Structure 1
Amino acid sequence: MASTPKNTGCDFTPLYTSTLDEVGVSASRPVRVGSWISGKGPFRSLLPNHPDHPGWHYGCPVYVPESQDQHPHSHDHFEVSIVRRGKALHRTSHGEDTIGPGTVIVLAPGMTHAIYGIEGLHQTNLYYLTEWLAGDLMAHWRETGLVPLFIAAALFRQSKDRAPAAFCLSECEMGAVDNELADIGRESVEKHPSLTFLRSSLLKALILLSRSYARQSAFDVGLGFREEVVAALEHIEEVILQCEAFSVGSLAEILGLCPDHLSAVFRKATGWSPMTNYQRRRVQHACNQLLNPDCSITEVAHALGYCDSAHFTRMFKKHQGITPIAYRNRYASLRDQRNDKLQ
């Protein structure tokens, strides 16, 4: 496992924020594998059909001069970074640590980090659209560490000043994860990649990483939610999927609790009230459906029980920050059209 970061007293302010659309995530390719490879020569990016492309394990690599540090920056998405060779100093507001071959760093949305002192560093990064991954949330919940490491920060209110998870893969674990990353890389450059295939490979990669982290962690890798909170989360998912009405009173009655007590316990665990969590999850399910270009905005609103498109749009913008059509356009086919030209 990566050693505990040395406290340097650094308080980082991000110079920029990386976004999912910038790294090539889209409706037809909601997961991406890419790499930063340091070495001699100018900054350049290689597309999959380039003769110098180093292989599927690296996805779409970006070559950077070894002298070019990665300055403090944040992300609006999860980034899973796996070091293949070389070394560097990884810094956050919690301090710095040396990273080397086999090191895995899981950065949740909003976390700020930087990489300095780069020496021959090759790192593979995994990016994914959380709303797409979290559609079957309760099934993922049963996989040890999967939700806490790779989904929870998008679901629950957590401190952005948390330290990223860091651990090391064994040679065997690296090989198993590599197989899944290779499959994601190969499928992503198909003209019409299979979303089922991509989801399967992504889940296997994340489960393998979760198991490695759990094996090395001295602490419980779960979220530590009380039984009634998990039951409430399960009920909320069922209500959304069955397009039924939701009320805190009905939920409290099912769980045998008074509404005020349930709300207090739920808020303490998740950072949200049960009603706010329901509204947020309904919007996240809507995000997943909006990735399907064959579904109209009205159809998505109706499928999730909104009274009309106007109400749906208001609630979507409240919790997502943009309108449904802006979300759809953000992950629409501009990048896919560019990729199609490469075929």
Structure 2
Amino acid sequence: MSLSFQKWSILISSLTSEDYIAPLNSPWKEKTRNLGETFSVLHNNPANDEIHVITELIETDKVLTYKYKADNGAVENNIGFVSDDVRHQVMSYFVLNCLNTVEDYENYITLSSVDSLIEYVRPWWYRRDKEESGVNMYLPRELEESFIKKLGINVIIHDIRSHYDLNELMEPLCLPLDVFNLEEDAKYRFINSTKKLTTRRKLTSGTLDFNSALGSFLILDVADEIIDWRGMSFSTQKWSILVSILISEKYSAPLNSHWKEKARALGEVFPVLQNDSTDDEIDVIKGMVETDKVLTYKGNGAVGFKSDDVRHQVMSYFLLNCLNTVEDYGNYIRLSSVDSLLEYVRTWQHKRDKDERCMYLPSCNDGETRRQ
């Protein structure tokens, strides 16, 4: 295809987009400028408006077409390739003209969507079947870990897992091997939940702790009931009280506990729980009993969770928001009662029963758990 560099830049932008579809109102000038700075062969100073050029690629060159994308429901607002064969030719051009150094391949991994990486990239040692269809490229040996980290949790449902030893996939992602034993529908639910998390927190897949996300997901995925307050915006003071009870013996704490001291200690270890609220803790607890209905009074002047499902949701919150490093897990082990550890914590090698609620302890903490 004899096309201008401006057109090639637009095509490659579509090639590296999620689902190979790009919104028509994308910031095309910024996209093409970034591509030109990254891959010098695409550097250009376009004189034509990008929307006009895209119209040419659709109506004259017939390599793009308007596409439907589920999240906005408007065909005319998105563009994509007119066929898989056209997309393969664009990928062939891109590999031949833009990927000439290890740095180029690394930039492609950084810029690309998972869809493109999954379809086209194979490890250095991959043996292609004679009858295998599709277009493949081979990744430089030293970039395999970067490639796996970019794919993230998507490796559990895509064919890429057949190209690697499972240990090679899970070690860079800090996930237990048992994640591959999830039923297929659970795998998709987990992936969707991590996507929502990364979007809500404006994270990249590489900055979300997948192990904590997995534990949080597994503890709630088999819940008999999702309590109404799950989506409520609890104050940090309330979460601090809930976590204090969660790590207490028998999941209950005396109403006359030193709550301010407990909150300060938790905040020093888990920064997300830091708070300087001046509200009286006893009044707050009373509200959590009578209004929020997540706590209840126990015998002997103690307070505890209203139900097991409430406790599971507190544990899910705690995992997702407080346990993001090996040090965090170590602090949880040190501070927690044996009750919480026995119920929720499993070793890295544990094979989970279908409906088991559990989290996986990073492998370097296994010995510490046994000592506790």
User: Which bin holds the TM-score, normalised by the shorter protein?
Assistant: under 0.3
Indicate the structure with greater strand content: 1
Name the TM-score, length of structure 2 as normaliser.
0.24
Larger radius of gyration: 2
Indicate the structure with greater helix content: 2
Name the TM-score, length of structure 1 as normaliser.
0.26
